Structure 1
Amino acid sequence: MKITILGAGVIGVSSAYYLAKAGHEVTVIDRQSGPALETSFANAGEISPGYASPWAAPGIPQKALKWLFMKHAPLIIRPMMDKATLAWIAAMLRNCTSARYAVNKGRMVRLAEYSRDCLIALRDETGIEYDHRTQGTLQVFRTKKQLDGIGKDIEVLRADGVPFEVLDPDGCVAAEPGLGRVREKIVGGLRLPNDETGDCFIFTNELAKRAEALGVRFHYGVDIHAIRAQCDRIDAIETSIGDIEADVFIGALGSYTPALVKPLGLKVPVYPVKGYSITVPILDESRAPVSTVMDETFKIAITRLGDRIRVGGMAEIAGFNNDLPERRRSTLVHSVEDLFGGAGDQSRATFWSGLRPMTPDGTPIIGRTRHKNFYLNTGHGTLGWTMACGSGRVLADLVSGNRPEIESADLALSRY
């Protein structure tokens, strides 16, 4: 079939690769000058299936009130009274129950674990390099209350057969020697040894090259004006280079998907939750992390990427806003310097922000819409890098008429 993918981030490119492997004629269009130049550009770098959890969780409303008064808050809500923001927040709050959290986390872990397996197979098959490491993730707890609160997460990990280790401070230092200088600040940790790290931007660009070798055509610098539909099918995409026709169309535009499909009568509950990162050159290897460390207090991920440290996190509800306030940078610097002081050269750090496409239940939207030849692969939130390969593979199977290797019915837009 002739397939057109809208979006060349890690989700769009992964979808293109697997669809081309399945024998389809694939075209990808994107408004940027190359792959992965928006949300996929400088994310936290962690591939953490076991930490695949929805932000909507029991106790979050109470924590959110506390976070509003923290100097280095993991959640920031700017004064926004527009209908879309209020509706998304209300939907997220409805998912902050124990029952919904268990369902949402279970399906997120299912997809993320599958995606990790797909990434390993892809790496073995192609030899793709992207500053990757396979040394696990360590979630660090600074308070006993945090450590005592991991019971429900462990239940899900155990039910899904995800290996994990609950560590005391000495165990945390053994896993991440750079924490030895701040051992007294740590009460314990949760380590997932099967997690990985890697540079999503490098990966996406390298995968795009391999997709091109399979016949995928990429058109960059193309603005998408509208989707033209008739009855229950999409006829064409109206773009700055003319109308593009295909047998199947796939929306993988992240946070920009809802506005594009709204004229079709499709309500896609994806909101642009803003995240920040800094990328810091390493000065002292002995002080640097060896993999990913999750600072639970500030919800910050500190990841080793080759000779750099990527520090990413925070969730800011501010609409389509990509400014770079210095106070957000100070939160990232505080977290990495407090745990790995002196490891990186902050004077040469680069500061970035991206709009994560977040659903209110945390689970991405993958599958066919009510338009028979229009599919979605969007809404991955903070886990686009973690879920990319699995999402692309599931989508390719669905489009090809094959049964995906994991349950996927509950990933579709119809769940809303």
Structure 2
Amino acid sequence: MHVLVMGAGVVGVTTAWYLKQAGHDVTVVDRQPRAGIETSYANGGQISVSHAEPWANPSAPLKVLKWLSQPDAPLLFKLKLDPAQWLWGLKFLTQCTSKRAAWNIRQMVNLGTYSRSQLQVLRRDQKLDYDHLEKGILHFYTSEKEFDAAREPTRIMQDLGCDRQIIGADRALELEPALKPIANRIAGATFTREDESGDARKFTQELARKAEEAGVEFLYDTEVVGFENTRDRIDGVGVIGPDGCHRTLRMDSYVLSMGSYSAHFARKLGFFLNIYPAKGYSITAPVKNEEAAFQVSLTDDEYKLVYSRLGDRLRIAGTAELGGYDRDLSLVRCRAIVRRAAEIMPEGAYWDQCEFWAGLRPATPSNVPYIGKSPLKNLYLNTGHGTLGWTHSCGSAAALADVVSGRTPELDFDFTGL
């Protein structure tokens, strides 16, 4: 079978890789000149099974209301006259019950655990180098209230096999001495030893190179502009290539992995995906003092920031801004990240030399992605991963390759169309 994968971010490239390994001919199309240079370019860098508590949880509605007037809030709704945003928001509220949050945690832990194991095998077999560290992820809390609120989600994750341990401030400082500047403010922490970190862009581009060597065709600088389709299948995908010419790509099957834009193209095909762009920000700064810079990947739950060590660089990323498709940088939000990072480890990096970045993360109201069959017979979905695209990429791709190949995935997950 010849499969066209639409999108060359981390999810699209891993999808292409696993489909090729399953014996399919694969072509990847992307509007960018290289793989991994949109949402995968400068994300938080964590392989974080432990980051499975969804944004939609019982405490979220009041927090969101409080944050509406704060331009640097961790989760900010910039309300617009946009039906897609309001539909997303209403569905988000329905996911904020304890029952729904527990169900969504289950989906994400199962997918995350499976995906992490797939990544580890892939890294070993292909000898991939992407500044990865296997030092675990430490969630730290500077608010007693936030620390107490983390206990129940942690218990649910433990019951699902995620080894996320609740620890005290002293143990947190033993694991990561770089937190000493805020030692007297740490209320508690959790630690997941098996979680990892690494540079998603390096991984994506290295895997794309390996995939190309294995026979996957990549069509870069090529934009998807429309479809030839009947009610129940795609007959062709219209694209504009780097020469400005229109052409139609005709394959046996198709995979939609176009991040936040997946919802737009689904509408063109006559069905609805509840995906809305959550603009995230990151800063990347050069290490200043090795002893003052962290090695263990960190999550600052109160501020919804993640910290990853990427060689001689520190990456801090987070926050979510739901306000449409613009990718303009908000210096207010960037400076808020710098301010918090410098407060925690003032000598860790040259904070005046930060590279700022913003990208659109394809968020669903539940944080659970769309993986599996679509309403069209020969179109498959692998999209809507939100903040966890890097974490879930290999598992999503391996499972989807099973679905496309007519096999039942070994992953316990609520696949679409199955």
Same fold (TM over 0.5): yes
Q: Give distance in 1, aligned partners of 2:230 and 2:141.
A: 54
CA deviation after TM superposition for structure 1 residue 291, in Å: 2.3
Who is 1:280 aligned against? 285
Who is 1:167 aligned against? 167
Identity level (%): 39
Who is 1:305 aligned against? 310
Q: Give distance in 1, aligned partners of 2:213 and 2:23.
A: 13
Match for residue 262 of structure 1 among 259, 267, 278: 267
Contact 1:300/1:335, CA 8 A, preserved across alignment = no
Who is 1:225 aligned against? 225
Residues 13-162 of structure 1: pairs in structure 2 closer than 5 A? 13-70=13-70, 72-162=72-162
What do you get for the CA RMSD once the two structures are aligned? 1.2
Q: Cα 1:87–1:173, aligned 2, differ >3 Å: closer, same or farther?
A: same
Amino acid aligned to 1:180: K
Q: Give distance in 2, aligned partners of 1:124 and 1:198.
A: 14
Who is 2:204 aligned against? 204
CA deviation after TM superposition for structure 1 residue 127, in Å: 0.7
Who is 1:375 aligned against? 380
**2:395 is the counterpart of 1:411:** no
Residue correspondences, number: 413
Q: Which deviations, in whole Å up to 9, do the C-alpha atoms of 1:253-292 show, x marking residues without a partner?
A: 0100111121221101000011000000001011111121
Contact 2:105/2:157, CA 8 A, preserved across alignment = no
Contact 2:307/2:315, CA 8 A, preserved across alignment = yes
Q: Give distance in 2, aligned partners of 1:233 and 1:166.
A: 49
The runs of at least 4 aligned residues of structure 1 exceeding 6 Å deviation read none
Contact 2:71/2:333, CA 8 A, preserved across alignment = no
Contact 2:88/2:274, CA 8 A, preserved across alignment = yes
Match for residue 243 of structure 1 among 239, 248, 269: 248
Match for residue 351 of structure 1 among 353, 356, 372: 356
**TM superposition score normalised by structure 2:** 0.97
Q: 3-state DSSP class of the match of 2:295? A: coil
**2:331 is the counterpart of 1:331:** no
Amino acid aligned to 2:116: R
CA deviation after TM superposition for structure 1 residue 361, in Å: 1.0
Q: Give distance in 2, aligned partners of 1:65 and 1:85.
A: 16
Q: Which deviations, in whole Å up to 9, do the C-alpha atoms of 1:71-100 show, x marking residues without a partner?
A: 742012223121111111111111100010
Residues 178-189 of structure 1: pairs in structure 2 closer than 5 A? 178-189=178-189
Q: 3-state DSSP class of the match of 2:50? A: helix
Who is 2:244 aligned against? none
Q: 3-state DSSP class of the match of 1:321? A: coil
Q: Give distance in 2, aligned partners of 1:71 and 1:252.
A: 31
CA deviation after TM superposition for structure 1 residue 207, in Å: 0.3
Q: Cα 1:286–1:363, aligned 2, differ >3 Å: closer, same or farther?
A: same
Q: Give distance in 2, aligned partners of 1:40 and 1:371.
A: 28
Contact 1:178/1:286, CA 8 A, preserved across alignment = yes
Residues 376-391 of structure 1: pairs in structure 2 closer than 5 A? 376-391=381-396
Q: Which deviations, in whole Å up to 9, do the C-alpha atoms of 1:106-150 show, x marking residues without a partner?
A: 011100110000000101111101000011111111121111112
Contact 1:72/1:298, CA 8 A, preserved across alignment = no
Amino acid aligned to 1:255: S
Contact 1:6/1:252, CA 8 A, preserved across alignment = yes
Contact 1:9/1:37, CA 8 A, preserved across alignment = yes
Contact 2:334/2:356, CA 8 A, preserved across alignment = yes
Q: 3-state DSSP class of the match of 2:42? A: coil
Q: 3-state DSSP class of the match of 2:201? A: helix
Moved more, 335-344 or 193-202: 335-344
Structure 1, unpaired ranges of 5+: none
Q: Which deviations, in whole Å up to 9, do the C-alpha atoms of 1:20-76 show, x marking residues without a partner?
A: 111110000000010011100000011101212211111100111223355742012
CA deviation after TM superposition for structure 1 residue 154, in Å: 1.9
**TM superposition score normalised by structure 1:** 0.97
CA deviation after TM superposition for structure 1 residue 407, in Å: 2.3
